[in-house]
């Protein structure tokens, strides 16, 4: 089991360029998440997908779009990168929380993105 994989690991973009961050999980999880991590701040949720075919905005969705391609894959797209999007991006997956049952999240290794 590879768990949660992300590509690329590092990326440098110029302002206005676009790119897609890829994420895949092999644990058959229903829910997938994209977070960004900035110095001095906690992880913040950009978008999530509770199940295949659904996506919802998180705390900081502006400037991003997502696609839940299938149950395994959840991609994050920056259409026109801005310096404020310089961050470390983490993808995560979990089983869906339902009733009183609790499930942990599994994180990918992260993508360090710099926008100049």
* Residue 43 contacts other proteins per CB under 8 A: yes
Min CB(21)–other proteins separation in Å: 15
Does 109 interact with other proteins (rule: CB under 8 A)? Answer: yes
Supply the DSSP string of 70-90, one letter for each residue: SSSBEEEEESS--GGG-EEEE
CB of 16 to other proteins, least distance (A): 27
* Pairwise CA distance, residues 23 & 92, whole Å: 8
User: Pick from 90, 93, 113, 115: which binds other proteins (CB under 8 A)?
Assistant: 90
DSSP H helix total and E strand total for the chain: 0, 11
The answer to whether residue 86 forms part of the interface with other proteins (CB under 8 A) is no
């Amino acid at each position: 089991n590879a768990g949660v994989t992300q590509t690329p690991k590092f990326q440098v973009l110029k302002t206005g360029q676009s790119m897609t961050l890829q994420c895949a999980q092999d644990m058959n999880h229903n829910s997938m998440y994209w977070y960004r991590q900035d110095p001095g701040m906690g992880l913040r949720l950009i978008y999530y997908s509770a199940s295949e075919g659904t996506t919802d905005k998180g705390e900081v969705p502006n400037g991003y779009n997502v696609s839940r391609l299938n149950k395994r894959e959840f991609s994050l797209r920056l259409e026109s990168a801005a310096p404020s999007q310089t961050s470390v991006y983490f993808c995560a997956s979990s089983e869906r929380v339902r009733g009183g049952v609790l499930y942990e999240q599994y994180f990918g290794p992260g993508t360090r993105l710099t926008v100049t």
